[in-house]
Amino acid sequence: MQQHSRLTMLVFAAAVVAAGAPARTLAADAAKEAATAATHANLAANSATLKDAQMHLHHVVNCLVGPTGDGFDANAGNPCKALGAGAIADSADAATKKKLTTAAGKAKAGLAASDLAGAKQAASDVEALLK
């Protein structure tokens, strides 16, 4: 009976540890997040309306900054939800983080554009940075 109790306690302890593990340690993939952001930058650059371009630029920002990052908008949708905490947060390399941060800034500038041409240009710049 005592051995059964120890086994039960070990299983319980393992379950508690697993339940408390942050999501980013379970599925962080900065490269896939950046690639998804690049795809949405391309979609924004080829959009026919400002509304569509801004939607895709929101996806770019969300993939790059992640749910706790500056500029994240849950209402816009997050195509990188299952990939990690955002490409910037999930990147270990300082040069990559800098490039991704620059891309996020350009995407935010595209979101602020009041015309389709400006949004599309920002999206093209972001796509070039991410490729």
Identify the band that residue 2 occupies on the pLDDT scale cut at 50, 70 and 90. low
> Quick one: tokens of 90?
């999930």
* Residue pair 88/66 in contact by the 8 Å Cβ criterion: yes
Who's near 23: CB < 8 A, 6+ residues apart? Answer: 84, 85
Higher pLDDT, 83 or 1: 83
**Region 12-36: what's the mean pLDDT?**
61
User: Whats the size of the chain, residue-wise?
Assistant: 131
Query: Is the pLDDT score of 27 beyond 90?
Result: no
pLDDT tens, 88-120? Answer: 999 999 999 999 999 999 999 999 999 999 999
pLDDT tens, 28-59? Answer: 899 999 999 999 999 999 999 999 999 999 99
d(CA 9, CA 50): 57
Separation of CA 79 from chain center: 8
Who's near 27: CB < 8 A, 6+ residues apart? Answer: 82, 83, 84
Own/partner pairs, 70-76, CB within 8 angstroms, 24+ separation: 71/104, 71/108
Query: Is the pLDDT score of 26 beyond 70?
Result: no
Residue 68's pLDDT is: 96
Residue 18's pLDDT is: 41
Can you give the residue ranges of every domain in the chain?
26-130
> Quick one: tokens of 61?
């920002």
Higher pLDDT, 99 or 26: 99
Query: Is the pLDDT score of 13 beyond 90?
Result: no
| Residues above pLDDT 90, as percent of the chain | 79
